[in-house]
Chains A and B, each alone.
Chain A
Amino acid sequence: MAKQDENGAPAIEVSDVWAGYGRQAALEGVTFSIEPGCLAGLVGPNGSGKSTLLRVILGLHKPWRGAVHSFGEPAGQQRGRIGYMPQSELVDWSFPVTGLDVVLMGRYGRIGLLRKPSRRDREIALEALERVRMADRAQRRISDLSGGEQRRVLIARALAQEANVLLLDEPFAGLDASAQHDLLGLFDDLQGAGRTLFVATHDLSCVASAFDHAVFLNRKVIAFGRLPQVFTEEILNETFERHLLLVNVEGKVYAAHR
């Protein structure tokens, strides 16, 4: 498998997680692990429990049973070490804050109550914006940024948090091809710097072309592991409960309806 962290534990380890809302189960006995330094996809249809799973890993949703560990420690106890980029539609883009304000929020958990962000916190926030190539637009109001730029700001916030593990919920949704391409380039940089990325997405072609691991989820884990081994028609059809056809064009894999 991929390279190990110093303590040898996976970046994310989900063991027999059951979770849901009311009596409705969203996750049924989910078990998988993701090694440090991976770019891993979380693939599944609408309502397959992807967002719930990310919320459980973050400690925002309490599972009925089961456990989540990150680098060997219970995930709920390491607030701040796991970064999160929510679905873009859940973010209030009309809020009167600048990109820098949003990235600084990534520091708030570390700063603690009753204290103001220090100069060092601002430096870290600006470095994070630099990393996602948004430093020149740090003082713009977030409502004035493009969709791709807005997502870069959210990723910079996770970086400012000094998170080793980044969970991203549908980062490609609504982006045009070139913004998607830029975002994948950024993922590559971050992965190169040793960060683990776990990305919930519908975009099978992106996963097939750029990701090295994937978890196929439809309330249960259908399969997980390395690409391209787990990226088979059989697994896709079981995940999406329909017949998909994989088309290989000049070494790139696309999923199509049969």
Chain B
Amino acid sequence: MPPIDEALDILTEPYASEFMRRALIAAALVSVVAAVVGSFIVLKGMTFVGDAIPHASFGGVAVAFVLGANLQLGGAIAALLAALAVGFITRRGFVRHDTAIGIILLAGFALGILIVSRQSGYTVDLFSFVFGNVLAVTWTDVWIIVGLGGLILAVIGLFYKELLFTAYDPNMAAAAGVPVAIIHYALLALVGLTVVIGLQVMGIVLVLAVLVAPAATAQLLARSLPGMMAIGSLVGVASALSGLYIAWYADVSASAAIVLVSTGIFLVAFLLAPDHGLLRSQGPAIEDVAAD
């Protein structure tokens, strides 16, 4: 067999199976939505919120499990409740924001563990929520991702200027008549919904990575917010595609492989980005010292 065909085989073989194609579609769609929402998370310093909401949603997944209800629905309700709780606390300021957000994370996650610890049966479904199982997504899951993801992107498109203004300068936005409280809650609800579609693919522990790593990479490379969203989406899709190859050939966890690829891309951008890269920005400084 000629080497070109062989290389092509290596590239096409994993996607000969339907479940791999489904996994790629799901992971790529989630990555795009997460990069767009994640741009706001990175710019507003909300990374911890992006970690707290998925953890807290585990409580809802576990409650749904006990009740025999839909696990995703339980997780979705808990994610949205956690998002609203974060919004309420960050607007009122009773305690430091990170402290309050940490407590929401712990309460939801501990509730989940408490419920799971009472289950003597086989709880593999629950653990696929913790670690994610992109290879097990169904077409129904893909359609849920398409529906919710489309809704999230549509809301961001419709309220883009308000989201931008509120993220950039909430005081001035309020003074100019932008309903900042509603926008604040809306952004958190969007994070909650993104977590819901991200859980199936990435799991509670790793969903933060698709929200933050591609957007953080894009922040180093982009000069505008739309540019940041576009570059973040590309990084996310590239990570999903190569992560799935690694998972197929090395027989490792797909979500972990996707996360490691995206954090690897971040590291490269961090070192080499034209404007902000560590190696680039220190270059002239070292020369200056030598010249002195």
Interface residue ranges, A against B (CB under 8 Å): 55, 58-60, 79-80, 82, 84, 86, 90-92, 95-98, 101-102, 105-106, 108-109, 111, 113-114, 116-117, 141, 157, 161
* B213 in contact (CB, < 8 A): no
In the complex, are the beta carbons of B175 and A79 less than 8 A apart? yes
Best-surrounded residue of B158, B167, B171 (most CB of chain A within 10 A): B171
Chain B residues near A86 (CB-CB < 8 A): 169, 171-172
In contact, A92 and B168 (Cβ under 8 angstroms): yes
- The CA of A95 and the CA of B173, in the complex, are separated in Å by 15
Across the interface, name the chain A residue whose C-beta is closest to B226. Answer: A96
**Which residues of chain A are near B176, meaning CB under 8 Å?**
79-80, 105-106, 108-109, 161
- The stretch of B123-131, B216-224, B249-257 in contact with A is B216-224
Q: B162 to chain A: closest CB distance in Å?
A: 7
For B121, what are the chain A residues with a Cβ–Cβ distance below 8 Å?
A: none
Q: A97-B225, A141-B223 are in contact. Are A59 and B165 (CB under 8 A)?
A: no
Given contacts A90-B171, A108-B162, contact A96 B177 (CB under 8 A): no
Q: Which residues of B have CB within 8 Å of A102?
A: 168
Q: Are A105 and B165 in contact (CB under 8 A)?
A: yes
Answer whether A108 and B165 are a contact pair too, CB < 8 Å, given A79-B177, A95-B43, A157-B172: yes
Chain B residues with CB under 8 Å of A79's CB are 175-177
Chain A residues whose C-beta falls within 8 Å of the C-beta of B225 in the assembled complex: 96-97
In the complex, besides A86-B172, A96-B223, A157-B172, 13 extra interface pairs with C-beta distance below 8 angstroms are A58-B175, A59-B174, A60-B174, A84-B171, A84-B175, A86-B169, A92-B43, A92-B169, A96-B43, A101-B164, A102-B168, A108-B161, A108-B178
Q: Mark B144-174, 1 if CB is under 8 A from A, else 0.
A: 0000000000000011011011011101111
Instruction: Report the minimum CB–CB distance from A77 to chain B (whole Å).
Output: 10
Residue B228 is within 8 A (CB to CB) of chain A in the complex:
yes
B227 on the interface (CB 8 Å rule)? Answer: yes
A109 near B178: Cβ-Cβ < 8 Å = yes
Q: Complex Cα distance A86/B174, Å?
A: 12
- Which B residues are in CB contact (< 8 Å) with A84? 171-172, 175
In the assembled complex, 28 residue pairs joining A and B whose CB atoms fall closer than 8 Å, in A order, are A55-B171, A60-B174, A60-B175, A79-B175, A79-B176, A79-B177, A80-B177, A86-B171, A90-B171, A92-B43, A95-B43, A96-B43, A96-B224, A97-B168, A97-B225, A98-B224, A101-B164, A101-B224, A102-B168, A105-B164, A105-B168, A105-B169, A108-B161, A108-B162, A108-B173, A108-B176, A113-B159, A113-B162
Chain B residue numbers with a CB within 8 Å of A105 are 161, 164-165, 168-169, 172-173, 176
From A140, which residue of chain B is reached at the shortest CB distance? B223
Residues of the B chain whose Cβ atoms lie less than 8 Å from the Cβ of A91:
169
Chain B 219-247 interface 0/1 with A at a Cβ cutoff of 8 Å (1 = within): 10011110110000000000000000000
Residue of B with least CB distance to A139 = B223
Q: Which residue of B lies closest to A98 (CB)?
A: B224
Q: How far is the CB of A12 from chain B (nearest CB, A)?
A: 14
The CA-CA distance from A80 to B173 in the complex, in Å, is 10
Residues of A within 8 A of B228 (CB): 96
A-B contact count (CB 8 A): 71
B180 to A, closest residue via Cβ: A60
A120 → chain B closest CB, angstroms: 15
Chain A residues closer than 8 Å to B168, beta-carbon distance: 92, 95, 97, 102, 105
6 nearest interchain CB pairs?
A109-B176, A79-B177, A109-B177, A58-B175, A105-B165, A84-B175
Contacting A at CB under 8 A, from B44-81, are: none
Instruction: Give A114 to B178 CA distance when docked, in angstroms.
Output: 12
User: Measured between alpha carbons, how far is A82 from B175 in the docked complex, in Å?
Assistant: 8
Per-residue interface assignment for chain B, residues 114 to 151, with 1 indicating a CB less than 8 Å from any chain A CB and 0 otherwise: 00000000000000000000000000000000000000
Q: A86-B171, A109-B176 are in contact. Are A114 and B158 (CB under 8 A)?
A: yes
Contacts of A141 in B (CB 8 A): 223
State the CA gap A55–B159 with chains docked (Å): 26
Are A111's CB and B161's CB within 8 A? yes
Determine the residue in chain A with the shortest Cβ distance to B219: A96
In angstroms, Cα B164 to Cα A223, docked, is: 41
Q: Give min CB distance, B235 to chain A, whole Å.
A: 15
Given known contacts A96-B223, A97-B225, is B161 in contact with A60 (CB within 8 Å)? no
What is the CB-to-nearest-CB distance from A156 to chain B, in angstroms, rounded to a whole number? 13
Determine the chain B residues whose CB is within 8 A of the CB of A106 once the complex forms. 176
Query: Within 8 Å CB of B43, what residues of A?
Result: 92, 95-96
Q: Please, which residue of chain A has its CB at the minimum distance from the CB of B176?
A: A109
Q: Collect the chain B residues with CB atoms within 8 Å of residue A55's CB.
A: 171
Give the distance in Å from the alpha carbon of A64 to the alpha carbon of B165 in the complex. 28
> Is the beta-carbon distance between B171 and A60 smaller than 8 angstroms?
yes
Produce 1/0 per residue, B165-199, CB < 8 A to A.
Answer: 10111011111111000000000000000000000
Chain B positions 253-287 with a Cβ under 8 Å from a chain A Cβ: none
Chain B residues near A101 (CB-CB < 8 A): 164, 224
Kindly report which residue of chain A lies nearest to residue B222, judged by CB atoms. Answer: A96
State the Cβ distance, A85 to closest chain B Cβ, in Å: 9
